[in-house]
């Protein structure tokens, strides 16, 4: 009996979907509506202030976690969407989407070190 990697992929998919669903609307509200319309002070979200926040290792870990889970959720969602459209090149889709997610995860880790 072979060992399946489905539990790992599904857990990343579920966690990524949950994190993305909870945080994306808040980020859109803050950066696309509240700051441009003057509801929040633009200086609070300036490049310098955000750059200083990323000096904290805990903040970097949270940013990494959110982006990591969102990347893997998106990769799995794109793979399943191709399957739903009738494109049955699953081996290529796995290699392409999960490969891009893996490379992006490594680059993200390097960028946040």
| Domain carrying residue 53 | 6-111
Q: Nearest CA to 15 among 68, 94, 84, 79?
A: 68
Q: Is residue 57 part of a domain?
A: yes
The answer to whether 75 and 82 are in contact (CB under 8 A) is no
Q: Is residue 72 part of a domain?
A: yes
Judged against a pLDDT cut of 70, whether residue 1 lies above it is answered with no
Q: What is the pLDDT of residues 30-71, one digit of tens each?
A: 989 999 999 999 998 899 999 999 999 999 999 999 999 999
Q: Is residue 43 part of a domain?
A: yes
Q: How far is CA 66 from the centre of its chain?
A: 5
Q: Is residue 1 part of a domain?
A: no
Q: Is residue 49 part of a domain?
A: yes
Tokens at 99, concatenated: 């490969």
What pTM, to 2 d.p., does this model score?
Answer: 0.81
What is the CATH classification number for the domain harbouring 99? Answer: 1.20.1300.10
Q: What's the whole-number average pLDDT of the chain?
A: 90
The count of structural domains within the chain is 1
The per-residue b/e assignment along 48-82, b for 16 or more CB within 10 angstroms, e otherwise, is eeeeeeeeeeeebeeebebbbbbbbbbbbebbeeb
Percent of the chain with pLDDT over 90: 67
Tokens at 100, concatenated: 């891009």
Q: What is the pLDDT of residues 50-60, one digit of tens each?
A: 999 999 999 99
Q: Is residue 73 part of a domain?
A: yes
Positive/negative CA dihedral, 70, 72, 77, 82: positive
Tokens at 110, concatenated: 């390097």
Q: How confident is the model at residue 103 (pLDDT cuts 50, 70, 90)?
A: very high
């Amino acid at each position: 009996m072979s060992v399946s990697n489905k539990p790992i992929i599904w857990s990343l998919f579920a966690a990524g979907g949950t994190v993305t669903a909870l945080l994306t609307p808040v980020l859109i509200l803050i950066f696309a509506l509240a700051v441009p319309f003057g509801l929040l002070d633009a200086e609070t979200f300036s490049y310098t202030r955000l750059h200083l926040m990323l000096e904290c290792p805990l903040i970097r870990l949270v940013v990494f976690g959110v982006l990591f889970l969102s990347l893997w959720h998106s990769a799995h969602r794109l793979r399943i969407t191709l399957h739903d459209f009738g494109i049955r090149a699953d081996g290529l889709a796995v290699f392409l989407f999960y490969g891009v997610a893996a490379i992006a995860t490594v680059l993200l880790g390097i960028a946040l070190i």
